[in-house]
Structure 1
Amino acid sequence: MIVWLLTTFSAGLLAIFLYQWTTHPFFWVDLRNYLKLRSFKKEMQTRMRKGIVTYLDTFLYQARITPDKPFIIYESQSLTYQDVDKRSNQFAKVFRSAGSLKMGDVVALLMCNHPDFICVWFGLCKLGCEVAFLNFNIKASSLLSCLQSCGAKSLVVGADLVASLDKVLPTLKASDISLWTVDHSAPCDGFNSLLDKLDKVSEEPLPDPPKVNIMSNFLFIFTSGTTGHSKAARLGHLKAIMSMAFLRFCGVTSDDIVYITLPLYHMSASLLGVGGCIQLGATCVLKKKFSASQFWKDCVKYDVTVFQYIGELCRYLVNHAWVTEEGAHRVRLAAGSGLRPDVWREFARRFGNIKIREGYGLTEASVGFLNYTDEIGPIGRASYFNKLSMPFELLKYDPKTYGPIRDGSGRCIKAPKGEAGMLVAPLTVTSQFLGYAGNKTQTESKVLRDVVRPGDVYFNTGDLLLCDHRDFLYFCDRIGDTFRWKGENVATTEVSEVLGSLDFLQEVNVYGVTVPGYEGRVGMAAIILKPDHKLDGAEIYKQLVGRLPSYAWPWFLRIQTCPEMTETFKQQKGKLVHEGFNPAVVKEPLYFMSLSQKDYISLSQSLYDDIISGKILL
């Protein structure tokens, strides 16, 4: 009798539990996504048993089964999967014969979006080289720092970017770095040309392709840090092949034509975008540079059905004047990250029935989310099923130290629902963090130990996320001194270093401030002049333009007489960020960067109002 009662009671509890669970409004969509993920993992395991274990293997597989399928469309060019395979074979043979490149060599790639970016990259992969993608906006000392950190001994430069190396060419030559240009002739002594040598080698595959360890490093992708120049993040083969599934989970198929305007040096374009097309066998329309005025025209011209975005891209489209083509396209889906809810709503209202698939991911680690629902705003879900496949925690953090808050036993404290917490994810054999090349300190700073239980190891993303009571996840902000503007991460210390070299500045404190209508935070600098010196806005302008990419320029200056410091003598940013650049709030002199005057001009209340209202654009 007692056994019967206990059994009946247990069954009743289970029935209530299952009823409440399965009637949850997102239960079935969560389950469907989980089953899709399980199915993909099984397919991956089957492919791996057949020897398809890397990003390159996946491409070669597609080139075998769909050789004549258009892979890359660029302006008037159309290259099939077989075309890219053969051309990359030629690049590989030139690099091996003329450059003696071999497995394990690190080669830096400085190129704009172009089919040959992919062909050169794949050619180097076929030799077993580790490729480092360089941001083509970087200048002088930053470029040298990138090469040094990843250990590159060869640099491949697009023909249109050779001139950007003028200032550092003597240093590159003195450092014994092999210089290659994707052109038919060398622009000057010290360069090797590539294109003139392709016709002299065959298109056949290499007779002895290298064997790659899937757990080893594949790429170096540079991410902005909080302590200086960009960090060379090691990105493994396993991470790369997992990234290729992004478009598939967004709902893209092999029949889609995917429009990619993001720079290929970003993981988003190279691994998620191009890699996603490869994984599916889809076609990629590659654009050299995003153009709001040309966007919808290209979508109609190339019959685009899917495009990849960052939040700023969508904002540009929403703010652009109406064009005929925006009502005549066949785009059905947009996949990306960083889309603000207000822009999201306006985008949906204006451009028709386009599904938005907003996600979140990191270059360094494997944690990532995808909002596969139609809910506007979230980056993903923290459902039971999702945490089975992608474990993570949101932790309480100290806003002064940026570290997690621990309890009396030394364990980290989880942030409750509805409160922003620091996103961390466990590190395992299949969820790797290979660290930053040449920077052990920065590598160790991203690792947390004894988080949930003694001996565990987690990756600290440095991002604040919020989980609401419906299990939706929202991105809140970045912890520390890095802010995001124009789709790029800006390291405040690098900007401070550039400004600090001016002889009339005594103290420089760089931070990001919000501007209504813009995604991210725009740069601002609180500066202290040296005694008996005056502000030279034109010289600051010249220094910034000459040494930093445009997204890193501080648009606002605040002149202080004494620095804002914390009790531990660190630069105070919180109060400065909160006060922003409003003359009605800030009683110290404020200045605004004028591109037309190539100088910093006094920021009056009327000028401030014009910036806030959008009459003056940043």
Structure 2
Amino acid sequence: MVGRVKEGMRSLVRHSPGVSGLVVGLVLGPVLWWLVCALWLVLLVLAGVAAAGLAFLVSKKGLRMRDVRMLVGGVRIQLYLKNADRKNTTVDQLWESTVAWRGRGAPAFAHVDSGEYFTFGQMDDAANQVAHWALDAGLEPGTIVAVFGYNRPRYIAVWLGLAKVGVRAALVNTNQTGDVLMHSIAVSGAQAVLFDAALANVVAAVRDELRGLHSDVLLACLDDDAADELARVDGASAIGWSSLSIKPVPAESRGYARGVKTRDPLLYIYTSGTTGLPKAAIVTHFRYLTAASAFSIFAKVTPDDRVYTVLPLYHSAAGMIGVGMVLYGGAMMVLRSKFSASRYTADVVKYDVTIVQYIGELCRYLLAAPAHPRDADNSVRLAIGNGLRPDVWSKFKTRFGVDRILEFYAATEGAAAILNLEDKDNSIGYISQPLQAILPQQIVKFDRMTEEVVRGPDGRCIAVETDEAGEFIAKIIKFKSGATNYSGYTSSTASSKKVLKDVFKQGDAWFRSGDLLKRDDEGFVYFVDRIGDTFRWKGENVATSEVAEVCARFTDPAPLECNVYGVTVGEYSGRAGLVAIVGASPDAFDFTGFAAHIRTHLASYAVPLFLRFLPAMDLTGTYKHKKVQLRDEGIDPEYVPDIYFLSGNTFVPLTPKLHADIISGGVRL
């Protein structure tokens, strides 16, 4: 820098005639040179002080280098978000800025199923087409459109295009039909539905109900060449891609020019529905920017990265985190419409994938698939996701050549996230004490009998001890604008149920995760269970995930797929454990060996007393096990086929007579 200043002074002298040149050369030049030297000296001193202070904190105050990494990343994210908030940045503006610096010809999305490639420019053109469609349809800023489609690049272009003109998208789960589908559309307040041709029959089945919601509901198919499918949906029309302009939307028609703010809703993403009807979580532009920047920064995403996802784009993992790496980090995304264990390795190798997204159950399915010669011969540097169980973690990492796993914990509607940046096996992340000043989060004592947090004599919540399970909560922070970091749901009632008040002081408010976590003495956090998935038996609390993990290991190295839940049994207090096993044949199953295995590895009260076989597991859109229906089915052999009871050292068929004896107390549990 000093050299550049000297050269600048010489240039100034060369272009300064006569006396003025002498003045500049003899007076101004040396002054500026010494000022620059002084500035460098100050910077060096400050750097030295900072290094010394950091060394002191690390050595004397227990500050760990992982705290430093978290803090540095957290500060970068906060600076970006403060700037975005100040400038009122919306997600469509972030997208357009990335198109500009990446270049219109750079690859943005690849669709494995169709072989399509979309450059940043082509994706922006498609988004512009959707924006023009919305304007032509007379959709005003704030209008909500339900988007009902499968994984493909155009799906992303749809909600990006709607965002350009201030229209909000409700991303509806493609597994929904009938009443559940109508519920999702209704709670979002959608006045229009954009759907894939492949889902035309599903939409047609609820056409009358949709008309009941809005007599003039707008229905449009996202495929132009689907006349037969379109004919099944009364009143629907094709979006008409070929007739829509790819030109940028006029500035005066943009959402930001028509009152859309950073804190306004961008998307509605639905909860998975493991415990009831889906709720529509509000995703504001600010929340999307938070997820996109945070995961891109902590995952060190660059334009050289290729992100592979088979997760549904209607959920936050793929739709916010995966796509966010493209929007913020400039990466390329490789999309497959649905998960295929047999095609995973071929896809990863063909597209030179560097980052893979996962849900824990997908990794289990991959391990159960036949080995491929190139399973570990790939460019994958990072696997990012959640729900990876301990019995799968190291096996998945080793077999598929994954350099690092970034497990995280977050909720679409939540106010915080926990990330495992240290590649710590089996941990969902790390709660950094220095970051508490920026984003306070805590694990508090929880009574699993009453399903309420525990409060002390002063009425305040109590932080858990080391290795004690409790509910994870995150502080709801109110900004100067009046907005908060908790967006909640479209239902104010559902939103308020997730808020815990007067936690550590009068008037504070914290987001309730509904999950039990625990923290070790180093600050690493581990998932214990969903609060609703925990049941009580013999006066003890049983965590279903822990029981399922033990059951799954019975067929190591290819673990069983198990779903564990509690069932009511006659007049017995609490619930007895039942393990549902998928894919195994009762005729070939080793009941005695399985009984010995679970009794060896589980406390007596946690041993499942019942076992049933399922041809397939009923899953949510994010591959989580559904439990409510199975729980409601109970154990009556007249209604539940292939169910067994743990008797002595083995499992025996649960006959109607044995069932009656158990219910009456003739057979004691």
> What TM-score comes out, normalization by structure 2 length?
0.72
* Distance (whole Å) between structure 1 residues aligned to residue 456 and residue 339 of structure 2: 48
Matching of residue 234 in structure 1 with residue 282 in structure 2:
yes
* Distance (whole Å) between structure 2 residues aligned to residue 482 and residue 180 of structure 1: 43
Q: What does residue 180 of structure 1 align with?
A: 220
* Distance (whole Å) between structure 1 residues aligned to residue 76 and residue 284 of structure 2: 23
Does the residue aligned with 1:514 lie in a helix, a strand or coil? helix
Matching of residue 514 in structure 1 with residue 557 in structure 2:
no
Matching of residue 29 in structure 1 with residue 66 in structure 2:
yes
Deviation at 1:30, TM superposition (A): 2.2
Deviation at 1:303, TM superposition (A): 1.1
In structure 2, give the amino acid aligned to 1:141: D
* Distance (whole Å) between structure 2 residues aligned to residue 351 and residue 396 of structure 1: 38
2:475 alignment partner, one of 394, 406, 426: 426
Contact 2:566–2:577 (Cα < 8 Å) also in 1: no
1:210 alignment partner, one of 225, 238, 255: 255
CA 609–375 in structure 1, closer or farther in 2 if over 3 Å, else same: farther
In structure 1, give the amino acid aligned to 2:75: R
Matching of residue 462 in structure 1 with residue 502 in structure 2:
no
Superposed counterparts of 1:186-201, under 5 Å = 186-195=230-239, 197-201=240-244
Say which is worse superposed, 365-374 or 514-523, in terms of deviation. 514-523
Does the residue aligned with 1:32 lie in a helix, a strand or coil? helix
Any unmatched runs of 5+ in structure 1?
Answer: 1-14, 484-510, 528-559, 566-571, 612-618
CA 452–88 in structure 1, closer or farther in 2 if over 3 Å, else same: same
Does the residue aligned with 1:128 lie in a helix, a strand or coil? coil
* Distance (whole Å) between structure 1 residues aligned to residue 54 and residue 219 of structure 2: 65
* Distance (whole Å) between structure 2 residues aligned to residue 358 and residue 609 of structure 1: 37
Say which is worse superposed, 582-591 or 455-464, in terms of deviation. 582-591
After superposition, the C-alpha distances for 1:217-263 in whole angstroms (9 at most, x for unaligned) are 22111114687411111122211100002133123222111111110
Q: What does residue 125 of structure 2 align with?
A: 86
In structure 1, give the amino acid aligned to 2:97: Y
CA 147–423 in structure 1, closer or farther in 2 if over 3 Å, else same: same
* Distance (whole Å) between structure 2 residues aligned to residue 282 and residue 360 of structure 1: 23
Deviation at 1:270, TM superposition (A): 0.6
Does the residue aligned with 1:199 lie in a helix, a strand or coil? helix
After superposition, the C-alpha distances for 1:542-579 in whole angstroms (9 at most, x for unaligned) are xxxxxxxxxxxxxxxxxx5x3656xxxxxx4xx32478
Deviation at 1:29, TM superposition (A): 2.8
Higher CA-based Rg? 2
After superposition, the C-alpha distances for 1:49-89 in whole angstroms (9 at most, x for unaligned) are 6x472222111111122221111111321111111111111
Q: What does residue 53 of structure 1 align with?
A: 89
User: What is the Cα-based RMSD across aligned positions, in Å?
Assistant: 3.3
CA 69–133 in structure 1, closer or farther in 2 if over 3 Å, else same: same
* Distance (whole Å) between structure 2 residues aligned to residue 468 and residue 413 of structure 1: 17
Say which is worse superposed, 585-594 or 109-118, in terms of deviation. 585-594
CA 127–191 in structure 1, closer or farther in 2 if over 3 Å, else same: farther
1:274 alignment partner, one of 323, 326, 334: 323
Q: What does residue 576 of structure 2 align with?
A: 576
Which consecutive segments of 4 or more residues in structure 1 shift more than 6 A? 15-18, 23-26, 518-521, 578-590, 605-611
Deviation at 1:421, TM superposition (A): 1.2
Deviation at 1:22, TM superposition (A): 3.0
In structure 2, give the amino acid aligned to 1:478: R
After superposition, the C-alpha distances for 1:496-530 in whole angstroms (9 at most, x for unaligned) are xxxxxxxxxxxxxxx99736227997276848xxx
Contact 2:467–2:519 (Cα < 8 Å) also in 1: yes
Deviation at 1:380, TM superposition (A): 1.3
* Distance (whole Å) between structure 2 residues aligned to residue 199 and residue 358 of structure 1: 42
CA 187–328 in structure 1, closer or farther in 2 if over 3 Å, else same: farther
* Distance (whole Å) between structure 1 residues aligned to residue 562 and residue 460 of structure 2: 33
Superposed counterparts of 1:236-255, under 5 Å = 236-245=284-293, 246-255=295-304
Q: What does residue 100 of structure 2 align with?
A: 64
Deviation at 1:415, TM superposition (A): 1.0
* Distance (whole Å) between structure 2 residues aligned to residue 587 and residue 119 of structure 1: 48
* Distance (whole Å) between structure 2 residues aligned to residue 183 and residue 610 of structure 1: 53
In structure 2, give the amino acid aligned to 1:253: T
Deviation at 1:374, TM superposition (A): 2.7
* Distance (whole Å) between structure 2 residues aligned to residue 340 and residue 205 of structure 1: 46
Contact 2:579–2:611 (Cα < 8 Å) also in 1: no
> What TM-score comes out, normalization by structure 1 length?
0.77
After superposition, the C-alpha distances for 1:278-312 in whole angstroms (9 at most, x for unaligned) are 10111111111111110110111111111111111
Deviation at 1:315, TM superposition (A): 1.6
In structure 2, give the amino acid aligned to 1:441: T
Q: What does residue 323 of structure 1 align with?
A: 372
* Distance (whole Å) between structure 2 residues aligned to residue 588 and residue 347 of structure 1: 30
Does the residue aligned with 1:325 lie in a helix, a strand or coil? coil
Contact 2:148–2:172 (Cα < 8 Å) also in 1: yes
Any unmatched runs of 5+ in structure 2?
Answer: 1-51, 536-543, 553-558, 582-590, 596-603, 618-638, 653-669
* Distance (whole Å) between structure 1 residues aligned to residue 609 and residue 404 of structure 2: 47
CA 228–353 in structure 1, closer or farther in 2 if over 3 Å, else same: closer
CA 167–193 in structure 1, closer or farther in 2 if over 3 Å, else same: closer
Q: What does residue 409 of structure 2 align with?
A: 360
CA 259–194 in structure 1, closer or farther in 2 if over 3 Å, else same: same
Contact 2:203–2:233 (Cα < 8 Å) also in 1: no
CA 594–524 in structure 1, closer or farther in 2 if over 3 Å, else same: farther
CA 519–116 in structure 1, closer or farther in 2 if over 3 Å, else same: farther
CA 462–120 in structure 1, closer or farther in 2 if over 3 Å, else same: same
Deviation at 1:474, TM superposition (A): 1.0
* Distance (whole Å) between structure 1 residues aligned to residue 651 and residue 132 of structure 2: 57
Q: What does residue 526 of structure 2 align with?
A: 474
Contact 1:22–1:28 (Cα < 8 Å) also in 2: no
Q: What does residue 164 of structure 2 align with?
A: 126
Contact 1:356–1:374 (Cα < 8 Å) also in 2: yes
Does the residue aligned with 2:641 lie in a helix, a strand or coil? strand
Say which is worse superposed, 296-305 or 323-332, in terms of deviation. 323-332
Contact 2:566–2:576 (Cα < 8 Å) also in 1: no
Superposed counterparts of 1:248-327, under 5 Å = 248-327=297-376
Q: What does residue 184 of structure 2 align with?
A: 146
* Distance (whole Å) between structure 1 residues aligned to residue 476 and residue 497 of structure 2: 14
Does the residue aligned with 2:146 lie in a helix, a strand or coil? strand
Q: What does residue 492 of structure 2 align with?
A: 440
Q: What does residue 634 of structure 2 align with?
A: none
CA 310–227 in structure 1, closer or farther in 2 if over 3 Å, else same: closer
* Distance (whole Å) between structure 2 residues aligned to residue 235 and residue 305 of structure 1: 28
